Amino acid sequence: MREISYMEALREAIRQAMEKDERVFVIGEDIGIYGGAFGVTAGLLDQFGTQRIIDTPISEAGIAGACVGAAVTGMRPIGEIQFSDFVVLSMEQLVMQGAKMRFMFGGKAKLPFVMRLASGSGTGAAAQHSESLENWFVHVPGLKVVMPSSPYDAKGLLLSSLAENNPVMFFEHKLLYKTKGPVPEEMYTIPLGQSHVVREGSHLTIIAMSVMVMRAQQAAETLAKEGIEVEIIDPRTLKPLDMDPIIKSVIKTGKVLIVHEAVKTGGFGGEISAAIMESEAFAYLDAPVHRLAGLDMPIPYNRILEYHSVPQVENIIEEARKLVKGAY
């Protein structure tokens, strides 16, 4: 199978969805002539024109409001927020309106839009352009939250999100855009709410999200040389969350490490931990559930400080060793 980048996989999903359904359009800042802040929409303006690839003023509230209004009147918009941090400017449109309309109208209104957000640190973009805010939206009934970690998942999950009749918050980590992997040329979907066992193991379960899946895999390779076999599970969609593979893995290994880039306080790791504790897997735990997450601080501009503010491969290795060897 051919290999393409995460960025190219997203672009292909958007192009195929637009070719299939004339109701699909893209709206955001610099997505047309410039091709998007990270190049995802490059070339789409030439194919689809300014009526379907719509450059906007610098107004995240305007982008989100246009998506809500267009979706409820029958279109299927894709909004792009250049940096996920700026989504705070569109909370009224997304949370007060988009998330609630279908419920408030007794299911008669449909809100089929996807909001794409470039998320995470690692590019030296400092405190206002590097946050991981996905859990804010997990907390909101009516919104679905997706975080693909590979090119294959990026395309399949985006196409599934575009087929939804509910709003989807689609978080794309900036460091993943250039990563490559096998992706089919044809259209395919990955159902929302289906966790993926990335690697099988017997000594420790690592539940990782977004770029942390890649780092967990790198850590697992090192740990395997020491005789520690790690099982890695990627939820892929935070809402709806598929707990079945996680529970089965915890029953098998008895030890759990949850890894995400967002700050620990109020992060999604706490939700997974609570779900494990409330499940049958609790009785099989040989140690407390551990979370490895970003520090409770704004992301620093200094590249060295930035590096140490979120989990890295060596941190995952260290935490895994401690858990497996009973050092806690």
Catalytically active residues, by annotation: 129
Q: Crossing angle of helices 244-253/268-277, nearest 10°?
A: 70
Interatomic CA distance for residues 299 and 311, integer angstroms: 12
d(CA 19, CA 300): 42
Q: How far is CA 94 from the centre of its chain?
A: 17
Q: Can you tell me which residue has the tokens 């060897």?
A: 325
- Compute CA distances 216 → 20, 89, 170, 289, whole Å: 37, 33, 21, 17
Peptide bond into 240 cis (omega under 30): yes
CA–CA gap between residue 169 and residue 114 (Å, rounded)? 6
What are the CA-CA distances from residue 256 to residues 156, 210, 276, 295 (Å)? 28, 18, 9, 20
Go through 277-291 and write b for each residue having 16 or more CB atoms within 10 A of its CB, e for each that does not.
eebebeeebebebbb
Instruction: Report which secondary-structure segment, H or E, holds 246.
Output: helix 244-253
What type of residue is 184? P
Distance in angstroms (rounded) separating the CA atoms of residues 261 and 297: 12
Please answer whether residues 276 and 307 qualify as being in contact, where contact means their C-beta atoms are separated by less than 8 angstroms.
no
User: Encoding tokens for residue 12?
Assistant: 């292909």
Beta strands in the chain (DSSP E): 3-5, 24-28, 53-55, 76-81, 114-119, 144-146, 168-173, 180-182, 196-199, 204-208, 230-234, 237-239, 256-263, 290-294
